[in-house]
A and B are shown apart, each in its own frame.
Chain A
C-alpha cells in the first residue's frame, strides 16, 4: 500500500508548482554565484565557487525552499479539499502521510543532486572563459551537499508537519520565514549550532559541529516525522 501511495504522490507532482520550485531553486543559486564569480577579475577557484554555492544554498535558499515546498505539497490536498476523499479510502492513514514525507525527502535529495550537477556544469563553462586557479577545493562538494540534505531533514519534517496540519498556507509560511530570519540572527551565536535552520550550514564548519548537526538533523528529522505520522493519522478531517 505504501508503494501505491508513493506512486500517486509522485504522479500528483506533474505540472505542479512544487516541481517547478525544485527545478528553479538550485538553478537560481548557481546562476547567482556564477555571475558573482564572473564579475571578479583574476583566475577562478572552482573549489571556492563550489563552496560559495553550497553556502548560499544552505544558509538561505534551502530553508526558504523547504518552506515553499512544504506549503506547495500540502496545498495540493488542502486547496481542493481532497482529504475528504483520500481519508475515506481503505488503507492505513500513516502510510499516506509517510508517502508525503518521503516525497518531500526525495525532492530535497533531487534538488541537492541538481545543485551539484549545475555547479559542475557552471564550473566547466567558466573554465572556458576564465583562467582557473589550480588550488584544491577546501572540501568534497558531493559529500558536503549530501550531508546538508540529511541535516535539513529536521526542518523539512517540521515544515511539512505545520503545512499539513493547517489548511491555510499562512502558518507554515510564517513558521519557515521566521525560522530563516532567526537563523540569520543566530549564526554568530554560540548556541546557533542547535537551531534547526542552521544545521545544514554547520556542514561548512569544523568536523565536530558537522557530526553533531548531521545527527541532530537526521535523527531529529526521523523523530519529528514519526510524531507527525501519529498526530496527523489520528486527526479528524
Chain B
C-alpha cells in the first residue's frame, strides 16, 4: 500500500537565502500520527505549505496516496499557522462556507462539530468571541469536513492553556479512530508530540535529520536500579545475563536494558541485595531531539 505522503528531494528557496527546505524526502505511512518536529524556522511550515500547494517547489516531487499531489489534493484537510476564521460570522456559518465550497450536505456540519466536541450553542456564537482553544477546535472541524484521509495540523497546540492542550491531545488521539485518517502534526512542543505521535520526522535547517516510528527511535525500555551495593548488584545482574549500562554518571542509578523489572527485582532480592529504587524509563523525545540536533551541529 502506498504511503499517505511521500516527498522526494523537495527543495524550496526564498530569494538568495539558504534553502528553507533542502532536498527533503519524507514518508508518512497511512494511519500514522506523524510528529513533524523542528525548531522555529526549521522549515516545517514551508514543507507543509508545499504539500498543500500553497507554495511551489523549486525541485523535487510530492505524492499523496501514490498519486501526484494535484490529483489527490481533495483528500487533504489542513490547519496551517493560525486558525483562520471569519470573526464576523458564527462558528456554524464558518463551517457552512467551507461545506458549500466542498459541495457537502448540511448534515456534515453537525458531524464535525460532534467530533471536535463543540456544542451547538457555541457554534451559534460569532467566532470573534471564541477562546483560542475553541478557535483551534473550530478550525480542525473545518479541516475535517468531507472526511479527509490526510489531516495536516500546523502547531495545533500553540498558545493553548494546559486544559486546551489536554483537550487537543485527546482530540488528536481520537481522530485516526474515526476513519481511515493519517495525521501530520507539526510542533515544537516535544512532550506533546511524544504523547500522541506514532512516527516522528525531525527537521533541522530544512533538512531531515531522522525519521522513524517513535517506539523504534526511543529504543528498548530500560530499568533504573539503585541498591545499597551497586557494584555487587551489577556483577550479579551481568552474571545472570542482563545487559547493564556501566558508563553512567556518578551517583546515577544503574541502567539495565532488555529486561523486565520484576525479574531484576526478584534476582537481586534473592541474592540478598537491598533495593532502594526500581523504575522503568525510555529515552524521551526531548533527549532524542537534542541528541540529533547536537550531532547535526
Contacts and interface: CB of A to CB of B under 8 A. Distances in A.
Interface of A: 4-5, 7-8, 11-12, 14-16, 76, 79-91, 236-237
16 contacts: A12-B89, A12-B97, A14-B88, A14-B89, A80-B82, A80-B86, A80-B87, A85-B78, A85-B84, A85-B142, A86-B101, A88-B76, A88-B78, A89-B98, A89-B101, A91-B101
Interface in B101-152: 101-103, 142
B17 interface: no
A82 B85 CA distance: 7
Nearest to B99: A8
Contacts, number: 69
B142 A90 contact: no
Contacts of A89: 98, 101-102
* A interface, over-half SS: loop
B97 A237 contact: no
Given A11-B96, A12-B86, A76-B86, A87 B101 contact: no
Given A4-B100, A8-B100, A12-B97, A82 B84 contact: yes
Nearest to B74: A90
The 9 closest A-B pairs by CB, nearest first: A237-B54, A90-B74, A82-B84, A88-B52, A84-B80, A81-B84, A80-B84, A8-B97, A15-B88
Contacts of B49: 84, 237
A84 B53 CA distance: 10
A155 to B, nearest CB: 26
Contacts of A237: 49, 54-55
A79 B88 CA distance: 11
Contact of A11 (B74, B78, B81, B97): B97
Contacts of A79: 87
A84 B84 contact: yes
A236 B54 contact: yes
